[in-house]
């Protein structure tokens, strides 16, 4: 496809967006970005301008550059809020840590890196080899990273305990996997004393 055709496609999309959404909401922006991800940035900018052009009719003294900057910032903020709400809503419907991770586009290694904790601790936790209670700090970290509630963290932990896994393979017998308390798992890791105290809320 030539640049000319790409521009024409973009213009058609933006024109249709303007016709359908004269004052775009966060849901409008999110829907159109998902439908045309190749024009996501153009849609966001256009949405911000469109929203503030409507405000401009009531405030004709505002300069165009200010309108553009404020509109762009507002559109990004609205889109971010909508995405967070969608992610939280979707994540809370899943029944396993693995499903939530996939929905968030994350893996055990990336989560361990994000938390700055040993990968084996996260693997044991998600594999049904860690018994509650978790520390407050670990619960809150999982809440923030996976966009789920504290109650959902406990639910997923209980589900994992009911279907324990030995590494990547599901255990054929529940008794084959002995879950250990979260504190024991953390203390037996080779992390520094400072990190162990951190994840056990002892700092």
CATH of the domain at 128: 1.10.260
Domain span including residue 183:
97-199
Is the Cβ–Cβ distance between 142 and 148 less than 8 Å?
A: yes
Q: What angle do CA 184, 190, 193 make, to 5 degrees?
A: 80
Distance between CA atoms of residues 195 and 201, nearest Å: 10
Whether residues 105 and 184 share a domain: the answer is yes
Residue ending a domain, choose from 58, 91, 124 = 91
* CA–CA distances in Å: residue 169 to residues 128, 165, 166: 12, 6, 5
User: Strand, helix or coil at 131?
Assistant: strand
pLDDT at 202: 92
From 75, 91, 107, the end of a domain falls on: 91
Looking at residue 153, its pLDDT comes to 92
Q: What is the pLDDT along the chain (203 residues), one digit of tens a residue?
A: 444 445 558 888 888 888 888 788 888 888 888 888 888 888 888 787 877 676 655 555 454 566 556 666 666 665 555 555 555 444 556 778 988 888 888 999 999 999 999 999 999 999 999 999 999 999 999 999 988 889 999 999 999 998 887 654 444 444 456 899 999 999 999 999 999 999 999 98
Residues 57 and 108 in one domain: no
24 and 78 part of one domain: yes
Q: Say if CB 153 and CB 92 are below 8 A apart.
A: no
Q: Rounded to an integer, what distance in angstroms lies between the CA atom of residue 35 and that of residue 200? A: 44
pLDDT at position 2, please? 45
Does residue 108 share a domain with residue 85? Answer: no
Q: Are residues 61 and 22 in the same domain?
A: yes
Q: What's the domain count of the chain?
A: 2
Residues 131 and 188 in one domain: yes
Q: CA–CA separation, 87 vs 112, rounded Å?
A: 20
Q: pTM for the complete prediction?
A: 0.52
Q: Residue 31: CB partners within 8 Å, gap ≥ 6?
A: none
> Within this chain, do residues 41 and 117 fall inside the same structural domain, yes or no?
no
Domain closes at, from 37, 62, 91: 91
Domain shared by 75 and 155, yes or no: no
Together in a domain, 135 and 157: yes
52 and 22 co-located in one domain = yes
The pLDDT score that the predictor gives to residue 68 is 55
What contacts 174, CB < 8 A, 6 or more positions away?
162, 164
What phi and psi, each to the nearest 5 degrees, are found at residue 93? -90, -10
- pLDDT score of 116: 95
* pLDDT score of 1: 45
pLDDT at res. 79: 56
CB 25 within 8 A of CB 50: no
How would you class 117 by CB atoms within 10 Å of its CB: exposed for 0-12, middle for 13-18, buried for 19 or more?
Answer: buried
Q: What does the pLDDT read at residue 181?
A: 95
Let me know whether 149 and 191 are in one domain.
Answer: yes
193/125 same-domain check: yes
Q: In whole angstroms, how large is the CA radius of gyration of the chain?
A: 23
CB count in 10 Å sphere of residue 141: 19
């Amino acid at each position: 496809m030539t640049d000319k055709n790409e521009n024409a496609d973009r213009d058609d999309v933006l024109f249709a967006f303007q016709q359908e959404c004269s004052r775009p909401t966060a849901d409008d922006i999110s829907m159109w970005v998902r439908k045309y991800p190749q024009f996501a940035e153009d849609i966001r900018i256009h949405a911000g301008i469109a929203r503030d052009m409507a405000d401009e009719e009531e405030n004709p003294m505002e300069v165009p550059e200010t309108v553009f900057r404020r509109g762009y910032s507002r559109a990004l903020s609205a889109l971010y809020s909508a995405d967070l709400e969608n992610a939280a809503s979707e994540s809370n419907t899943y029944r396993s840590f693995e499903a939530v991770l996939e929905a968030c586009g994350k893996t055990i290694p990336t989560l361990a890196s994000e938390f700055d904790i040993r990968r084996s601790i996260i693997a044991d936790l998600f594999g049904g080899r860690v018994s509650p209670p978790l520390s407050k700090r670990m619960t809150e970290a999982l809440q923030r990273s996976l966009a789920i509630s504290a109650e959902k963290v406990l639910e997923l932990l209980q589900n994992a305990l009911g279907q324990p896994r030995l590494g990547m393979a599901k255990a054929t017998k529940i008794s084959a996997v002995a879950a250990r308390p979260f504190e024991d798992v953390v203390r037996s890791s080779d992390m520094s004393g400072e990190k162990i105290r951190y994840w056990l809320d002892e700092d």
